[in-house]
Amino acid sequence: QQQVKQSPQSLIVQKGGIPIINCAYENTAFDYFPWYQQFPGKGPALLIAIRPDVSEKKEGRFTISFNKSAKQFSLHIMDSQPGDSATYFCAASSSSGGSNYKLTFGKGTLLTVNP
């Protein structure tokens, strides 16, 4: 059972464009939703995260939009740059497991930003 569904699988945009990556979750116990950025040969790096008590969070050029009723959240990258070309993963975790905050990941989106 895939608990976090991510789309699209891949995305190509021109420099300055606004790529949008979407995720949907099933488990209503999830209460923390981070996005990770991964470059080839590197580990996933925490980019931005949101909790369900807010509908939007911005950090620099990255924005998370969150729709609790639809159980969906998305990542927007404003003024995208070729250096943003990477694989992006959405994830979710629950605080209800004591000290266990394991992340459930989406399958990832390969973003290419053309110059």
Partner 1 sequence: DSGVTQTPKHLITATGQRVTLRCSPRSGDLSVYWYQQSLDQGLQFLIQYYNGEERAKGNILERFSAQQFPDLHSELNLSSLELGDSALYFCASSQGGNTIYFGEGSWLTVV
- CA–CA separation, 49 vs 26, rounded Å? 18
**Which member of 106, 109, 111, 113 binds partner 1 (CB under 8 A)?**
106
CB within 8 A of 2, min separation 6: which ones?
A: 107
User: Measured from the CB atom, is 62 or 105 closer to partner 1?
Assistant: 105
- CA–CA separation, 24 vs 100, rounded Å? 22
Any contact of residue 95 with partner 1 (CB under 8 A)? yes
In terms of Cβ atoms closer than 10 Å to its own Cβ (0-12, 13-18, 19+), residue 77 is: buried
| DSSP letter, residue 102 | -
- Count residues binding partner 1 (CB under 8 A): 25
| CB-based contact 61:77 (threshold 8 Å) | yes
Any contact of residue 68 with partner 1 (CB under 8 A)? no
Any contact of residue 12 with partner 1 (CB under 8 A)? no
Stretch touching partner 1 by CB under 8 A, among 16-24, 42-50, 56-64, 71-79: 42-50
User: Measured from the CB atom, is 75 or 80 closer to partner 1?
Assistant: 75
User: What is the contact surface with partner 1 in residues (CB under 8 A)?
Assistant: 32, 34, 36, 41-46, 49, 89, 93, 95, 97-108
